[in-house]
A and B are shown apart, each in its own frame.
Chain A
Amino acid sequence: QSVLTQPPSVSGAPGQRVTISCTGSSSNIGANYVVHWYQQLPGTAPKFLLSSDTIPRPSGVPERFSASRSGTSASLAITGLQAEDEADYYCHCYDNSLGGLWVFGGGTRLTVL
């Protein structure tokens, strides 16, 4: 069971907008820590996608992707969904509680219908 909770799956048709949530607690997202997102295409290594704030958008990441956080939650939004966006997405954050310094969400499989 992951410290950060993500929905196991989301789906959308090409051109639509989807959001992926990441719910944490007062020891991570709620402690005002930056939330980072990674994209893992099938059969490949993860790739840094975006951060909720502070960290500049990596070159090459389309403006269709955006990230935000509020309270103990964060979200990744993808507009103008494309077939190439089909992948697993993971949120990631620092955690100040005992047991772990950095934590990941369980991952969300995005299916483009």
Chain B
Amino acid sequence: EVQLVESGGGLVKPGGSLRLSCAASGFSFSSYGMNWVRQAPGKGLEWVSSISRSAGDRYYADSVKGRFTISRDNARNSLSLHMDSLRADDTAVYYCAKAGAEAAAGLRFWYYDLWGRGTLVTVSS
């Protein structure tokens, strides 16, 4: 079955760290760019970070740059997001999302054709 399954969410204090993971199955993981998108409670979607197929290129939203690190392990079909210096406004459901095949043609063609169910991160004292 083609799917993405996130894990690692939970309650963390402001200033703390957390590592999210995403397990991919049912497709050739190493052939696709991967992404993290988040959704604060009752709010819209926000792009967080993306990584190219080989992990040679990584991209971050300004809101997380310098605090979050995206990585992938193609041998284990796994995507990660390491989050440091967490703030209350990082509270959200974090979704792992696969880039569509056309993403290989350039950044302007990136879109997300497969999503996981998400994992909730709550930053609160």
Residues of chain A having any CB pair with chain B under 8 Å: 2, 33-34, 36, 38, 44-48, 51, 54-55, 58, 90, 92, 94, 99-107
A94 contacts across to B, CB distance below 8 A: 107-110
Which secondary structure characterizes the binding site on chain B? mixed
Tell me if B115 is interfacial: C-beta within 8 Å of chain A. Answer: yes
Q: Kindly list chain A residues whose C-beta atoms are within 8 Å of the C-beta of B46.
A: 104
Q: How far is the CA of A102 from the CA of B110 in the complex (A)?
A: 8
> Which single member of B62, B100, B114 contacts A99 (CB below 8 Å)?
B62
**How far is it, in angstroms, between the C-alpha of A99 and the C-alpha of B59 when the chains are bound?**
11
The answer, yes or no, to whether B61 is at the interface (CB within 8 Å) is yes
Contacts of B73 in A (CB 8 A): none
Please tell me the number of chain B residues within 8 Å of chain A, measured between CB atoms. 24
Name which residue of chain B comes closest to A56, CB basis: B102
| CB-based contact A38/B62 at 8 Å | no
User: Is B67 an interface residue when CB atoms closer than 8 A count as contact?
Assistant: no
Given known pairs A104-B45, A105-B44, A107-B44, the reply for A36 and B61 (CB within 8 Å) is no
Cα distance, A54 to B62, chains bound together (Å): 28
Partner of A38, one of B59, B102, B112, B118: B112
Residues in A with CB closer than 8 Å to B91 are none
Q: Which residues of the other chain, A, contact B59 by a CB distance below 8 angstroms?
A: 101
Is A104's CB under 8 angstroms from B47's CB?
yes
CB pair B111 A48 closer than 8 Å = yes
- Per the bound structure, the CA–CA distance linking A18 and B115 in Å amounts to 26
Contacts of A58 in B (CB 8 A): 113
Quote the shortest CB–CB distance from A6 to chain B (angstroms): 9
Residue among B37, B95, B102, B108 with the highest chain A CB neighbour number at 10 A: B108
CA distance A2 to B40 in the complex (A): 14
Which residue of chain B lies nearest to A105 when distances are taken between CB atoms in the complex?
A: B44
A106 to B61 CA separation, bound complex (whole angstroms): 16
Shortest Cβ distance from residue A89 to the other chain B in the assembled complex, whole angstroms: 11
Q: Is the beta-carbon distance between A100 and B62 smaller than 8 angstroms? A: yes
Are B61 and A46 in contact, CB atoms less than 8 angstroms apart? no
B21 adjacent to chain A (CB < 8 Å): no
Interface: B50 (CB within 8 A): yes
